[in-house]
Structure 1
Amino acid sequence: MKNVLLTSCLLISQITLAQYNYPKTPEKPVTDDYFGTKITDNYQWLEDLKSPEVQMWFKAQSDYSHSIIDKIPNRDALYKRMKQVQEMGGDSYDYARQRGNLYFYTKTKKNEKLSKLYTRDITTGKESLLFDPETYKKDAQITNFTVDSKGNKIALLFSKSGGEICELKILDVKTGKLLEDILNPLWSEFGFEFTSDNNSIIYTRMSTGDPNSNMLLKDMKAMLHHIGTSADKDIVLASKEGNPELNMLIEQFPMIEFSDDLNYILLNLGSTKSESPQFYAPYSALMDKKITWKQIVKASHDITQTFITGDQLFFLTHKNAPNYKIGVTSLSNPDFDHAKIIVPESNSVITSIHSSKNYLFYSLSNGINQDKYQIDLKTLAIKKISLPGGINNTNALNARENDNLQGYNSNWLTPGTFYDYQPENGKAVKSKYFNGDSKYPDYNTLYEVKEVEVKSHDGTMVPLSIIYPKNIKMDGSTPAYITGYGGYGISNKPRFSNRLSVLLEQGVIVAVAHVRGGGEKGDNWHKDGMKAKKPNTWKDFIACSEYLVNQKYTSPSKLIGNGASMGGVLIGRAITERPDLYGVAIAEVGMTNVLRSQNSANGANQIPEVGNLKDAEDIKSLIEMDTQSKVKKGVKYPAVIVSTGMNDSRITPWEPAKFAATLQNSTSSGKPVLLYVNYENGHFTSDLDVTFREYSDVFAFALWQVGHPKFQPVKK
């Protein structure tokens, strides 16, 4: 009876919304020649986001998508349930900073949409609201903050509506007022820090704040700002123009910080690669007219992180060690080839290091569990930190002054929990202040987690995490949602998600494919999903999707495939290679047109990961991973919802838009292809109302298309 009901409901929905009269998207063919391979692009005209015609097209697409989505029942119920689950978790906290007896942190109250800045007095336990970003500007969000050494001033980084082009303001803690200083534009991910006298700030300044400029993420400068002076008087500490000896590429990011002992200034030339060239100078060089930078790390050293104390340079590297190792050498005369190895390579992957005053900490992961270890900086003795099983991360509260740590533990079905840890006594205690009053149900009694490995196209075994309701029938009748990423060596680690828990509540299986291109199995796992080897990423995803079907977890008509950002390559090429394998595809702010994305502001930064348009050899792989050019007319593609944030500077909005337009004008399946345009979002946002509203819309669309009875429009 259940299958009959599903079939009936699906038939009704297809009848009700059978005709999809999309806003017209004219084809205006332009042919590009890529070293002899000619590819015609019908939608390059959509790349002009300043064009009134293009702006009207986006608005028409947005309105049309909502006219369809608004007919789906229980969409609001999904949104309300996400809000309820948020409230069940209580207030949520981010990592804190400690200055003396005060903690500084951002917190999102269980019934609020944005995080605010708070402080807590450790001696009394009293919490105080320091700053509400909405009192500064409408739609302002606190992206990051740092505190001076005395706890008197806080530098706050603000973004607007999910955008990542930010501005920095300084809060006087005693008065609660913002100083007149304003630094902009700054990119959301770049650090900033007070000098030792607390009178200045070091930061990285962008060359432009125009999101449509091709120079947006190029020609940046490392700067020094004296508090109380105009930003146009800020001093350049490092730049491509002022420091030709650094051989800085125009797309590299000059990022500066101070060593924990405040003896040195450190300069990293960042990019999407983790292996950044690094330079240093004595702290006193801040007073020099021009800093003389001395190189200590080259990209060829394959070093991804360093830590300096005195003349000791600790480093994390995958040089001749794909699973990484930790070593130490002299800062004044570094010799990485003959360095002392403190933690040798093992079967598990060392994912990161960080420090406190007297210890160095590292994470050791098998892809599913991550343990934490401490190294005594004086004796180099190693000790495992006693934390619950699962994914464990730690953060120093004040690395310059003490060894106090916050630990954070998470799993697929266990909401994250903060722990307080002091390495001198080796005890981890559940945090008194940083865990919300959780009223979550025991998800482990409701759902199962299965970790398997799936044979991919070339015989490689790919990890697949499957979370499913305990009462499902293994007959292929259950909807399933599978997601993957596969880029930059980033791992999909187990973590609890309010959004996905709501999807599980609908009886949907949730699966995470740990495809190549990520870092779950070390540096080689990353390299095997880059450039010419990028097809492994989507072929691994296809193999994991086939496993779910073959093992009767689900069937193709009920399988929802998802990919976001770099995962746009994954989901885009999965459905163009195997359109028959998925009932629905969700492409979130996805990279789906790599042949053109290098013309965008963030394009040059992606060259180390995907390849260079100007390289005849790289072109072959770029053509292979370009989804848009693989869409063919007359093919029966699954239902697709493509999302884009109009404030997105990472994946510029025209890239997902062109993908949606191509599919609308090509598919013959009769299934809908919608472009979900969010004018309140960027690549992501910290506004939970915006986030929950978008995911309730997207999930409702997907559940409608896989025949879920609660999400079928009523026949009129």
Structure 2
Amino acid sequence: MQYHIFSEKILSKMKYILIIAILFINFSITMSQKSYPPQTAKVPFTYNLHNFVFTDNYQWLEDRNNPEVKEWSHKEHDYTVNYLNNKFPEIQGLKDELRLNIDRDYRGVSFFKHGREFFWARKKGEQQSKLYTVLKGKEKLIFDPMLFDPSGKSSPGGMALTEDGSRAAIGLQFQGNEIYTYRIIDTKNGKVLGDPIENLSGFNWCKDEKSAYISIRSREIIEKQIPIPTYLHKISDGNNMKNDVFVGAPKDAKDFFNIWDDDESEFTFLTNGDFYSKTIRIRKQGTLDTGKVICSSDTFNFDIATKHNKIFYYTNENAPNFKLMVADLTKPEYANADEFYSEKKNLTLEGIVLTEKYVILKVKKNVLVQAMLYDYDGKFVKELMPPELGDISGIGYDKFSKDITISLNTFTNPTKVFKLNEDSLVWNFFYQDKAPVNTTDIISRMMFYPSKDGTQIPIFLIFKKGVVLDGNNPTMLYGYGGFNISMKPNFIGSTASFINRGGVYAIACIRGGNEYGENWHRSGMLGNKQNVFDDFIAGSEWLIAEKYTNPQKLLIRGGSNGGLLTGATVVQRPDLFKAAIIAVPLLDMLRYHKFLIARYWIPEYGCADNKEDFDYIVKYSPYQNIRMGVDYPSMFIKAGENDARVDPLHAKKFAAALQNLESQTNPILLYIDFESGHGSGQSIEQMVENQYLEWKFIMGELGMK
């Protein structure tokens, strides 16, 4: 009897041991199957800023030329690709839909010079767009980037036509590095004239068309933050620049210098300033004197145009919604200018186009642009009412044919182009690209929501007909919020695949942009930057409160300054989101200004080297505000290794810091395109693959099929 009891005890103990062993084996299998990002070494670097001591464990990742950084970067990228391929199932039909949208016959909006039509186009299977012209009613290919780089990794950038359109200077950049090689072609036959001119950032023809103003850019200039110099260059010298004449450069790399010979007068204009201030000088063409200052401000900006011996000033000088001033070219100083169009309280003047007979004003009301016609005496003529609803995205004019071209944008159709002769002003349909995706059942609307301080924020909502407001829709919120850039209707393209699968696409028109003029912009820059994040957070809360979605179905997306937006927002309110796309972002705002061309952005963000700026930057800088003990939402962090604008160090350091948090269980994925820059320079194949993986992350995280 005792033996039997003893046997049962032994058996019970053996069962317990067996269960523990099975559990351990299962745990081991689970652990072996779980994917972990590459380990990132912590190498503490301590620095003092305004008596605050900071320890940066990942500053070593700032050196992209360090072999260890290169190896780490490739491991991170490979981990991301493998994770996405193994974690999320293939989205049936998605890759084919993306290819239909990206790899297809495509034709851009036509532009005109001296009565001749030009356009960029790409046929299915071609890796880059090519330049065409129309001669005697027939389309003719005149510039093919593939002839100069068969790899398809060189993309066209800047382009300058001569006055009669007979020659064009066209820049090509390699892998998105934004360092251009310009070639001059005969636009009738495409023949390259002379040697290419290398290492440029800009090209402007001189009036005599025997010379050009060229701005120099090299990797050394970018990395050492050297102000970009501009020279007068003889076209016949080709790539030989030893005889070039220096004409100007900004004193600081945060400023711009520009020079051009005016088509409508005998003057050369020279400008110097930053994004939001400017000094303009004028001199006789063909001379090299310093010129006479005609306007200057450290606080306001000016853009100029000339016509009929008049100079027009488009400015926000004491006019946050902008106004238009005009002076006689015999007395061109701004001090002599009279008001042509006064600032309006509820309208924002966005730009002007001068034709032979009219001054066309691009006026924005509630985010959408209208076209207003005035004569040169300042008398209102009429509004150019489009034949259908849409946002006027562009207005062009060719003085030779007297044709006005107007581009109309909507979310659900590609850009539609109309032609109006300025004598008749009759709208004639000219061209529209074919929609590559099905948008038949997609609708859009604009609504408003209150931000934290009560400011009403516009928001675009694009979704499929019949969407049910049950709080369970996969939703993607996009924003930018900076640099005076407005959010406007634009064809959704590949996003249709997301919407047609039940997604809601929201675009928040937050402060920092130009939706309502300079005050709207300034309320989201410098010390007011937190307003931008508050607006975006409020938009997220509104989408949830209005039953569009819930935190487990909400993803935020942004790039560049929008990457700062999504990075800061996800750090400040990790509870609101399932996931975030943080593309080519600025994230270490205490050090951003030290790298590449980022000094340009000091007028927008400030500079942490200044105590006054530091006090507000340190409060929101995403990298410095990562908190221990938080499990942040899933993130897809994108960078371009050749980015000349935002150094990929931001994405790398941010990803490393998050991955090394003990509390972090949601995936932090770093995707690095080693053959592109700030979103440019990609071949068609790169675009398809990159977009597919990004959408796979979006749809996978939001539970879509």
Name the TM-score, length of structure 2 as normaliser: 0.90
Pairing 1:168–2:176 present: no
Q: 1:439/1:26 Cα in 2 relative to 1: closer, same or farther (>3 Å)?
A: closer
Pairing 1:593–2:603 present: no
Q: 1:379/1:530 Cα in 2 relative to 1: closer, same or farther (>3 Å)?
A: closer
Question: Could you give the per-residue CA deviations for residues 119-178 of structure 1, whole angstroms, max 9, x where no partner exists?
Answer: 112xx4210111210111232211132222333321011111222111111113455332
What does residue 459 of structure 2 align with? 464
What does residue 196 of structure 1 align with? 207
Q: 1:213/1:471 Cα in 2 relative to 1: closer, same or farther (>3 Å)?
A: same
Q: 1:150/1:331 Cα in 2 relative to 1: closer, same or farther (>3 Å)?
A: closer
> Which residue of the other structure, out of 82, 95, 100, is the alignment partner of 1:84?
100
Residue 363 of structure 1 contacts residue 373 of structure 1 at CA under 8 Å; is this kept in 2?
yes
Number of aligned residue pairs: 670
1:56 deviates by: 0.5
Letter matched to residue 78 of structure 1: L
Residue 586 of structure 1 contacts residue 641 of structure 1 at CA under 8 Å; is this kept in 2?
yes
1:597 deviates by: 1.1
Pairing 1:264–2:264 present: no
2-structure distance, mates of 1:280, 1:43: 49
What does residue 257 of structure 2 align with? 254
Name the TM-score, length of structure 1 as normaliser: 0.89
Pairing 1:43–2:40 present: no
> Which residue of the other structure, out of 430, 435, 452, is the alignment partner of 2:432?
435
Residues 273-672 of structure 1 mapped to structure 2, 5 A cutoff: 273-285=275-287, 290-300=288-298, 302-309=300-307, 311-334=309-332, 336=334, 339-346=337-344, 347-377=346-376, 380-387=379-386, 388-399=388-399, 401-431=400-430, 434-438=431-435, 441=438, 443=439, 445-666=440-661, 668-672=663-667
Question: Could you give the per-residue CA deviations for residues 467-505 of structure 1, whole angstroms, max 9, x where no partner exists?
Answer: 122222211111100011011110011111212122212
Letter matched to residue 498 of structure 2: L
What does residue 697 of structure 2 align with? 701
1:58 deviates by: 0.5
Q: 1:629/1:52 Cα in 2 relative to 1: closer, same or farther (>3 Å)?
A: same
RMSD between superposed Cα atoms in Å? 2.4
Letter matched to residue 422 of structure 1: N
Residue 369 of structure 2 contacts residue 391 of structure 2 at CA under 8 Å; is this kept in 1?
yes
Question: Could you give the per-residue CA deviations for residues 5-32 of structure 1, whole angstroms, max 9, x where no partner exists?
Answer: xxxxxxxxxx899733111111112222
Letter matched to residue 195 of structure 1: C
Letter matched to residue 269 of structure 1: N
Q: 1:17/1:376 Cα in 2 relative to 1: closer, same or farther (>3 Å)?
A: farther
421-430 vs 553-562, which deviates more?
421-430
Question: Could you give the per-residue CA deviations for residues 621-664 of structure 1, whole angstroms, max 9, x where no partner exists?
Answer: 22123100111222010000100011111111111111111111
2-structure distance, mates of 1:86, 1:677: 20
- SS of residue in 2 equivalent to 1:526: helix
Letter matched to residue 390 of structure 1: G
Which 5+ residue runs of structure 1 have no aligned equivalent? 1-14, 241-246, 711-716
1-structure distance, mates of 2:33, 2:426: 62
Question: Could you give the per-residue CA deviations for residues 394-433 of structure 1, whole angstroms, max 9, x where no partner exists?
Answer: 343535x4532221000122321111122221112111xx
Which 5+ residue runs of structure 2 have no aligned equivalent? 1-29
Letter matched to residue 515 of structure 2: E
Residue 631 of structure 1 contacts residue 666 of structure 1 at CA under 8 Å; is this kept in 2?
no
Residue 363 of structure 1 contacts residue 393 of structure 1 at CA under 8 Å; is this kept in 2?
no
2-structure distance, mates of 1:639, 1:667: 15
2-structure distance, mates of 1:672, 1:58: 17
> Which residue of the other structure, out of 174, 183, 192, is the alignment partner of 1:178?
192
Q: 1:397/1:76 Cα in 2 relative to 1: closer, same or farther (>3 Å)?
A: farther
Q: 1:311/1:17 Cα in 2 relative to 1: closer, same or farther (>3 Å)?
A: farther
Residue 635 of structure 1 contacts residue 669 of structure 1 at CA under 8 Å; is this kept in 2?
yes
Pairing 1:205–2:203 present: no
2-structure distance, mates of 1:496, 1:559: 22
Pairing 1:132–2:148 present: no
2-structure distance, mates of 1:374, 1:16: 69
1:337 deviates by: 6.0
Percent identical among aligned pairs is: 27
Residue 301 of structure 1 contacts residue 317 of structure 1 at CA under 8 Å; is this kept in 2?
no
Q: 1:327/1:372 Cα in 2 relative to 1: closer, same or farther (>3 Å)?
A: same
647-656 vs 171-180, which deviates more?
171-180
Letter matched to residue 163 of structure 1: N
1:250 deviates by: 4.0
What does residue 13 of structure 2 align with? none
1-structure distance, mates of 2:394, 2:209: 26
134-143 vs 147-156, which deviates more?
147-156
What does residue 114 of structure 1 align with? 128
Letter matched to residue 595 of structure 2: S
Residue 267 of structure 1 contacts residue 280 of structure 1 at CA under 8 Å; is this kept in 2?
yes
2-structure distance, mates of 1:87, 1:55: 31
> Which residue of the other structure, out of 244, 260, 284, is the alignment partner of 1:235?
244
Residue 483 of structure 1 contacts residue 561 of structure 1 at CA under 8 Å; is this kept in 2?
yes
What does residue 9 of structure 1 align with? none
Letter matched to residue 66 of structure 2: S
